[in-house]
Amino acid sequence: MKIFQRLSDNSLPIQWHHLLFYILLVAVIPHTGFWFDLNNDWPRWSYYAFEHGLSQIYNSDTNYMPFYLHGLYWFGKLQGSKELIYANSYQLKYFFLLFDFGCALALAWALRKYYSVKLVEYLLLFNLGYLYCTVIWGQLDSVPTTMVVLGIICLYERKMLWAAFFCTLSIYVKLQAIIFVPFFVILLVYQFSQKFDTWLLAKMLGISLLTQLWLLSPFIWGGTFWNFIKVVRESVGFFPRVSWNAYNLWYLLIKEDPTLLNDTLTFAGLTYKKWGFLLFFGLSALVFIPILARTYILIWFKKIADADYYALLWLTASTIATLFFFVNTQMHERYSYPAIALYFAYALISRQYALFALISVAHLANVDGMNKYFGLNPFKPEYTSLLFGLILLISFVKLFIQTKNIRLEYLQQKLR
């Protein structure tokens, strides 16, 4: 009874209706998904760990980071047999769905002072584009996205030990989370410029090291650590295609089907992969100018970060996530997923929801256009690519306006 009384308390992030909606989704969630992962690779790796132990799973052909392999090991232990592991592999969706909910509730709770709309978390939880990867596709993209979101929130709120935990964990869930490390560093520098604490920094490093030791110790003690290193080293180039079903820039630039072209082919003296890197890092340098300039002003003039700074942070992070998906080669159709949650955070603070709506539609058009579960996207991939391009264009315009405003703010501060 006390549990339900607490869940009825509006001061808590989790309400009774969240639990009911989660149960409803679990009840209706399809038992099918992307066959090669949900019915082949994942149960096979889970059974390998069940049979040989978690410490030996990197002797299989897995190419996943440690956090998820821990999960597959315990999934196998809970099932108890090869037959049940394969028969119930769809139940992994229930685990991923917890993170879809966790991300939505964390953002709604952490940013609640910036908006007045009630039950705003359901803009994500009723969002088919947001839930598609978990509920239909059966993928784990919600897990690293939630870790990144929690890391940014904790750093901004100066929950530094939790921040160290989530930021570290995000990389060990999915290596692509490394693109968000600059945001962790920017917030870390800002927080320690406000109040430097050597002991706190040492504790953060300790938390990070303990988290890594927890994840890696089975492989260190089991003698398979170097197999893990090999997986990390070979992660770039594992799918050497110009696009791996991501409806991005390459569908607009290349006449041939990008999924059939090796990204080691050259154009104007550079491989397609290097062109992707060049575009990403070059454009990222422009994207980071406003947030770096604003952080510098906060530090130099000893000012406190406000809602405008927080909105700029989320806008920058969402733009980087979309840019990573849009210009790089080897991108999967799902890799724009993190941008949905990040644009949602920007929408809550800025109260400008257009980019959030557009990225939700674009992501859904890509994943269902490839998977064709609902048949929602009968159009050519190029149209979805143009929509992603429009999202980036609007984001760049907003960042350019921010740059002009920040320059004016800097001049005003100097004249004081």
pLDDT for position 415: 67
What three-state secondary structure class fits 245? strand
Cβ contact 315:395 at 8 Å:
yes
pLDDT at 268: 86
Number of H helices, E strands in the chain: 20, 2
pLDDT score at 404: 79
In the chain, how many domains are there? 1
Least confident of 40-44, 55-59, 237-241, 317-321: 237-241
Residue 247 is assigned to a structural domain of this protein:
yes
Q: Give the pLDDT confidence of 136-173 residue by residue, as tens digits.
A: 999 999 999 999 999 999 999 999 999 999 999 999 99
Q: Is the pLDDT of residue 3 over 50?
A: no
> Token pair of 361, please?
């539609």
pLDDT in tens, 375-403: 999 999 999 999 999 999 999 999 998 88
Q: Vertex 190, ends 187 and 196: CA angle to 5°?
A: 120
Phi/psi of residue 233, nearest 5 degrees: -65, -35
pLDDT recorded at residue 11: 64
Instruction: State which H helix or E strand residue 266 sits in.
Output: strand 266-267
Mode of pairing for the β-strands spanning 270-271 and 266-267: antiparallel
Higher confidence at residue 4 or residue 134?
Answer: 134
Q: How confident is the model at residue 4 (pLDDT cuts 50, 70, 90)?
A: very low
Secondary structure of 128-164 in HEC code, one letter for each residue: HHHHHHHHHHCCCCHHHHHHHHHHHHHHHCCCHHHHH
Mean pLDDT of the residues in the chain:
92
Q: Report the C-alpha gap between 286 and 303 in whole angstroms.
A: 24
* Domain contains 274: yes
Residue 407 has pLDDT above 80, yes or no: no
pLDDT above 90 covers a percentage of the chain that reads 83
Does 252 have pLDDT greater than 90? yes
Residues linked to residue 262 through DSSP beta bridges, in sequence order = 241
Q: Domain for residue 373, yes or no? A: yes
Three-state SS for 271? strand
The answer to whether residue 16 sits within a structural domain is no
Q: What is the pLDDT of residue 416?
A: 66
* Domain assignment of residue 304, yes or no: yes
Q: Which of 175, 25, 33, 170 has the alpha carbon at shortest distance from 97?
A: 25
C-alpha span between 375 and 413 (Å, rounded): 54
Q: Would you tell me how many other CB atoms lie within 10 Å of the CB of residue 4?
A: 9
Nearest Cα to Cα of residue 176 among 145, 137, 214, 138: 145
Q: Would residue 290 count as lying in a domain?
A: yes
In a domain, 12, yes or no: no
**Structure-token pair, residue 370:** 């490839």
- The CB density around residue 208, as the number of other CB atoms within 10 Å, is 18
Separation of alpha carbons 228 and 399, rounded Å: 39
The Cα–Cα gap between 134 and 102 comes to 13
The whole-angstrom separation of Cα 208 and Cα 194 is 22
Query: Any idea what the Cα angle at residue 229 is, between residues 225 and 234, rounded to 5°?
Result: 145
Residue 271, CA atoms < 13 Å, CB-side half-sphere: 15
Which pLDDT belongs to residue 10? 58
Burial of 263 (0-12, 13-18, 19+ CB in 10 A): buried
Instruction: Report d(CA 314, CA 308) in Å as an integer.
Output: 10
Q: 89 near 21, Cβ under 8 Å?
A: no
Average pLDDT of the segment spanning 255-268: 90
Residue at 26: amino acid letter: V
Q: Which whole number is the average pLDDT over 41-70?
A: 95
Count of alpha carbons within 13 angstroms of residue 134, beta-carbon side: 30
> Does residue 86 sit within a domain?
no
Give the amino acid at 358. Answer: L
pTM attached to this predicted model: 0.94
Asked if residues 100 and 131 have their Cβ atoms less than 8 Å apart, the reply is yes
- 8, pLDDT greater than 60: no
Range of the domain at 341: 236-416
Spatial distance between the Cα atoms of 368 and 75, rounded to a whole number of angstroms: 28
Q: What is the pLDDT of residues 176-233, one digit of tens each?
A: 999 999 999 999 999 999 999 999 999 999 999 999 999 999 999 999 999 999 998 8
Residue 96: closest CA among 151, 155, 154, 173: 173
Using the predicted structure, report yes or no on whether residue 413 has a pLDDT greater than 90: no
Under DSSP, the state recorded for 118 is T
The reported pLDDT for the residue numbered 238 is: 65
